[in-house]
Amino acid sequence: MIALIIAMPQELEAFLETVDSAVSLRYGGKTIYECEYKGIKFVMALSGIGKVNAAYTATLMIEKYSPSFLITTGAAGGFGLDIYDVFVAEKVVQHDIDTTAFGDPRGYISGLGVVYIDADKGFVKLCESKLNGVKTGVIASGDQFIASGEIARKIAKEFGASSCDMESGAIGQVAYMAGVPFGVIRTITDGGNDEAQTSFAEKLKKAVEINKNAVLGIIGLVEKHGEKTAE
């Protein structure tokens, strides 16, 4: 079974309005929806914004459902991308981890010994082949809404990132530690620059629809291909 993790209520509602059925239940303080869409069964949960919310929700989903695949999805900022681009992450990184005082590179995850975590390669290939015009690259996550051109340029340069959000890096880390393959699908609402807050607010509604359609367009193929997708 595939599990979706979604940060914001607007993003969740778009899915709930489209799926054929959704049964809600409470688990670990979170509301989880057991859904069906065109014969495909999957579960999804609203994590809330930020890395701790995301990591906790991913842990709950893995604990309860032992999903075959985990997808984090929603809006994101883009560095050099166009508004409404659909972005699929090849790697995730957490830009706000900083133990450089001890000689570590920025983003270094203690205990894992890595800076970047790879998303599932088969999933990336599937999205590239099935989603028209999809963009791929590194997504950088941190507990900060990026709304500064200076900060955006710094993150893009330091981590080779093309996108930013506040959840994917944490979800990727949990999935990696639990041995669950994962993917990231995001739709760009802003450039992470000085106009990001305004752009995000204005573009979110349309981006949510684009993102929902992309996810529902690919989720059945992920389920169908199963082990062929996860690699």
The model's pLDDT over 106-150, given as tens digits with 9 standing for 90+, comes to: 999 999 999 999 999 999 999 999 999 999 999 999 999 999 999
First vs last Cα of the chain: how many Å apart?
A: 16
Per the structure block, which two tokens stand in for 167? 């959840």
Q: What is the CATH number of the domain that holds 197?
A: 3.40.50.1580
**How many domains, the chain?**
1
Lookup result for tokens 């950088």? 140
Residue 214 tokens, joined? 């992309």
230 lies in some domain? no
Give me the catalytic one of 11, 85, 120, 167: 11
Let me know if residue 227 belongs to a domain.
no
- What confidence tens digit (pLDDT) does each residue in 56-109 have? 999 999 999 999 999 999 999 999 999 999 999 999 999 999 999 999 999 999
Query: Is 228 part of any domain?
Result: no
Q: Which of 104, 150, 190, 231 is catalytic?
A: 190
- Indicate whether 50 belongs to any domain: yes
Residue 81 is assigned to a structural domain of this protein = yes
Assess if residue 84 is contained within a domain: yes
The pTM (predicted TM-score) of the whole model is 0.94
CA distances (Å), origin 66, targets 43, 62, 75, 175, 195: 11, 5, 26, 11, 40
Question: In this structure, are strands 40-46 and 30-37 parallel, antiparallel, or unpaired?
Answer: antiparallel
11 is catalytic: yes
Q: Does any domain span residue 42?
A: yes
231 within some domain: no
20 catalytic residue (yes or no):
no
Range of the domain at 167: 2-222
